[in-house]
Amino acid sequence: MVKTTLIELDTVGFCDIRDITSELELKMKDSGLKSGVITVFVPGATGAVTTIEFEDGNVRDFKAFWEKIIPKDEFYAHNARWGDGNGFSHIRASVLGPSLSIPFVEGKLTLGTWQQVIFIDFDNRRRSRTIVVQLMGE
């Protein structure tokens, strides 16, 4: 059985990091499914998903990592061509990736105790974001 739902978020960009774990748990409960996989997918080229221990230190370190490795103000051919200044957002999102697959068993996500699912908005402006949450199982 397949059930597809959406999470809606208003984000501010520039590596805006949001913990979506409790919404995923809610979607799973609402689905009535007991075992299977949740596919979390970002429809868009400047956002991404992963997991982290969601506490202020890690969040700051994660942001610092992206600024170090793919700096906002370097030269990007994308910016030279389109002038929208979010070349860094595109490369960060492609490197981290848009999809995550999380098994659930007996009505529980198999996340670790100190592990949360995060959506990262790498864009350079406010956005209204939609995240696809698909549950497949029995």
Binding site for its own copies (CB under 8 A): 1-2, 4, 35-37, 39, 41-45, 50-53, 55-58, 60-62, 64-65, 69-70, 76-82, 87, 90-91, 93-103, 105, 110-112, 114-115, 132, 134, 136-138
Question: At closest approach, how far in Å is the CB of 125 from its own copies?
Answer: 15
* Of 90, 50, 59, 49, nearest in space to 72 by CA: 90
Question: At closest approach, how far in Å is the CB of 34 from its own copies?
Answer: 9
- Distance of alpha carbon 61 from alpha carbon 136, whole angstroms: 34
* Of 88, 93, 65, 89, nearest in space to 76 by CA: 88
Structure token pair of residue 2: 């397949």
Question: At closest approach, how far in Å is the CB of 23 from its own copies?
Answer: 16
Question: At closest approach, how far in Å is the CB of 37 from its own copies?
Answer: 5
| Burial 13-48, CB ≥16 within 10 A → b, else e | bbbbbbebbebbbebbeebebeebebbbebebebbb
**115 versus 124: smaller Cβ distance to its own copies:** 115
